[in-house]
Chain A
Amino acid sequence: MGRLSVNLCGIELDNPIIPASGTFGYGYEFAELYDINILGSFSCKGTTLHPRFGNETPRIAEAPAGMLNSVGLQNPGVDAVISEELPKLAKCFHKPMMANVSGFSIDEYTSVCEKLDKEPQVGWLEVNISCPNVHGGGMSFGTDPAMAAEVTKAVKAVTTKPVIMKLSPNVTDITAIARACEDAGADGISLINTLMAMRIDLKTRKPILANVTGGLSGPAIFPVALRMVWQVAHAVSIPVIGMGGISSAEDVLEMMIAGAAAVEIGAANLADPFVCPKIIADLPAVMDRYGIERLEGIR
């Protein structure tokens, strides 16, 4: 086991770096840029039962130290993911990947998870109950502890793979949601999804995003994410994946000291497609600087 290796729900990772869902496609796009096997793992684009175009455009806006998106879960649907995307990925990625799942009903979540459960490439199911950009699904499951528990229980019943529940920061008490997921059998928690936000174009006096609101990500949200990861890591005993604005090896260490077993890197991939290899390369020297021998147990 190397200095960077960590354990995530019983699966060993070479390092804790996991590109976050929605910023890394289905992996193979980035394989044209670098060997993606250097990553700990990656979380694929949020997958639903049926193909989705997502929201109208514009879907993207700039923000101070970050960005807004309102993509709205564009994806080809789980059947096409299994028949087309996963085989393409198999050619360039030889580690367990994290399948990110979204839905508009409990039935949809379980149908998608049941199908992905049979795929040997899938290491973990990351169940997104926190998408701020769709109506009548996504985040509405993640803002109420009882609903979050219900999704968790239903998904756990159809899979033997570790189930990681991805939480929204757009709640009054994120620890209550995390505890409800843990009590319902979740194997891990990942947080945070994006923060609900908006921008207005002064020239048109209208919202920049066609969806009016979107999710804020990037370095701007890092301190918020860090605080919530700290709170959740102290509230539950299952592994926590920390994400939200991480863009350097130093950020990774902060997040892991706050209690994260692994981290996801999101918006930073869009501004700099080589940020993950850079962070992995930087980690040993930055760990030396702060007297950290190994990442496992750093908390």
Chain B
Amino acid sequence: MKQQIFTIIENKPLTDSVYRLRLGGNTSAITAPGQFVNIKLEGKFLRRPISVCDRSGSMLTLIYKTVGKGTEQLSTMKKGEQLDLLIGLGNGYDLTPSGERPLLIGGGVGVPPLFSLADELLQKGCKVSAILGFNTASEIFYADEFRMLGVETYITTVDGSAGIKGFVTDAMKDLDYSYFYTCGPEPMLKAVYRASKTDGQFSFEKRMGCGFGACMGCSCRTISGYKRICKEGPVLKKGEILWED
């Protein structure tokens, strides 16, 4: 983990409520796809955790949804303004067990962290497929970016306005894959857990205090003991998950 100041290069809406934030600064403390950053916002006490979509050299790409006052405030920030970030937080995805044909399954703002994962899996020589699930056509983002990377990309929408009608699990049924990586809302993660035919990794979201393991605000129970989503997570392996109902 490092504290770094970044400068806003771009803060642009991709849909009605999803924004892409491009930041310039030193990204070297980010060591794995699936890690997150924690952003200090003027007038807010707690930082806001956002997953890393992509990093390349001195550019960091984050994609976030406006869900409350903090992210709404972030969406009004302009090019040239500076942000104080804690970076390199969390464990991230482990690429080692991917096999040759990993499947990525993202729902809504769970899609972004899978982007740099896809990139790294392709560089590793894998044939990568992705299912990106949204509620409706107007909420779709980054489908073209995944395709341009070289990922075989399937879209699902709940209302059928684009791609396959239904949930990500409806698209999973017909695909063969060696391993899977997923990120999205918890009901979707649960459905993926039940529908999956192989081992895989899940990225979780929880209300956090510090984001770096100090406050025990985001603890969860797992097969292998208590874990902090911000420190031992946000990525947990399928075999260690205990669902809390």
* CB nearest neighbor in A for B3: A274
Alpha-carbon distance between A58 and B215 when the two chains are bound, in angstroms: 13
Count of CB-CB pairs between chains A and B under 8 Å: 88
Contact A65 B207 (CB under 8 A): no
Interface residues of B in 90-149 (CB under 8 A from A): none
B116 vs chain A, min Cβ distance (A): 24
Q: Which residues of B contact A271 (CB under 8 A)?
A: 40, 45-47, 210
Q: Hey, which bits of chain A sit against chain B, CB under 8 A?
A: 22-25, 29-30, 32-33, 45, 53-54, 56-67, 69, 71, 74, 208, 218-219, 267, 269-274
Contact A71 B216 (CB under 8 A): yes
A204 vs chain B, min Cβ distance (A): 13
Q: Which residues of B contact A60 (CB under 8 A)?
A: 46, 207-209, 215, 217-218
Contact A25 B214 (CB under 8 A): yes
B207, B213, B226, most chain A CB atoms within 10 A:
B207
Chain B interface category by residue count: 20 to 34
Alpha-carbon distance between A59 and B215 when the two chains are bound, in angstroms: 10
> Is B202 positioned at the interface, with any CB of A under 8 Å from its CB?
no
Contact B213 A29 (CB under 8 A): yes
Q: Which residues of B contact A57 (CB under 8 A)?
A: 206-207, 217-220
* CB nearest neighbor in A for B226: A53
Contact B44 A269 (CB under 8 A): no
> Is B50 positioned at the interface, with any CB of A under 8 Å from its CB?
no
Contact A71 B226 (CB under 8 A): no
Contact B216 A22 (CB under 8 A): yes
B101 vs chain A, min Cβ distance (A): 35
Alpha-carbon distance between A108 and B19 when the two chains are bound, in angstroms: 51
Q: Which residues of B contact A64 (CB under 8 A)?
A: 45
Contact B216 A54 (CB under 8 A): yes
Contact A53 B221 (CB under 8 A): yes
B4 vs chain A, min Cβ distance (A): 12
In the A-B complex, list the 9 residue pairs whose CB atoms are closest, starting with the nearest. Answer: A270-B210, A60-B217, A58-B207, A60-B209, A74-B216, A71-B216, A59-B217, A60-B207, A270-B209
Also in contact, A45 and B207, with CB within 8 A (given A63-B45, A271-B46, A274-B3): no
Q: Which residues of B contact A22 (CB under 8 A)?
A: 215-216
Interface of A: prevailing SS: loop
* CB nearest neighbor in A for B217: A60
**CB-CB contacts of B67-78 with A at 8 A, as 1s and 0s?**
000100000000
Q: Hey, which bits of chain B sit against chain A, CB under 8 A?
A: 1, 3, 40, 44-47, 70, 86, 206-210, 212-221, 226, 244
B31 vs chain A, min Cβ distance (A): 13
15 A-B pairs in the complex with CB atoms less than 8 angstroms apart: A25-B214, A29-B212, A30-B214, A53-B219, A54-B219, A60-B215, A62-B44, A67-B209, A71-B215, A74-B226, A271-B40, A271-B47, A271-B210, A273-B86, A273-B212
* CB nearest neighbor in A for B207: A58
A94 vs chain B, min Cβ distance (A): 21
B90 vs chain A, min Cβ distance (A): 14
Contact B207 A270 (CB under 8 A): no
Q: Which of A23, A53, A66, A219 contacts B214 (CB 8 A)?
A: A23
Q: Which residues of B contact A54 (CB under 8 A)?
A: 216, 219
Also in contact, A24 and B214, with CB within 8 A (given A62-B45, A67-B46, A270-B46): yes
Q: Which residues of B contact A32 (CB under 8 A)?
A: 1
* CB nearest neighbor in B for A52: B226
Q: Which residues of B contact A273 (CB under 8 A)?
A: 1, 3, 86, 210, 212, 214
Also in contact, A65 and B218, with CB within 8 A (given A57-B206, A58-B206, A273-B3): no
If A57-B207, A57-B217, A271-B46 are given as contacts, then 12 extra A-B residue pairs at C-beta distance below 8 Å, sorted by A number, are A22-B215, A30-B214, A54-B216, A60-B209, A61-B207, A62-B44, A62-B46, A69-B217, A74-B219, A270-B209, A270-B210, A271-B210
Q: Which residues of A contact B215 (CB under 8 A)?
A: 22-23, 60, 69, 71, 270
Alpha-carbon distance between A82 and B191 when the two chains are bound, in angstroms: 41
Q: Which residues of B contact A65 (CB under 8 A)?
A: 45
* CB nearest neighbor in A for B212: A273
* CB nearest neighbor in B for A57: B206
A155 vs chain B, min Cβ distance (A): 24
A248 vs chain B, min Cβ distance (A): 14
B131 vs chain A, min Cβ distance (A): 28
Contact B214 A270 (CB under 8 A): yes
Q: Which residues of A contact B220 (CB under 8 A)?
A: 57
Alpha-carbon distance between A272 and B212 when the two chains are bound, in angstroms: 11
Q: Which residues of A contact B216 (CB under 8 A)?
A: 22, 45, 54, 59, 71, 74
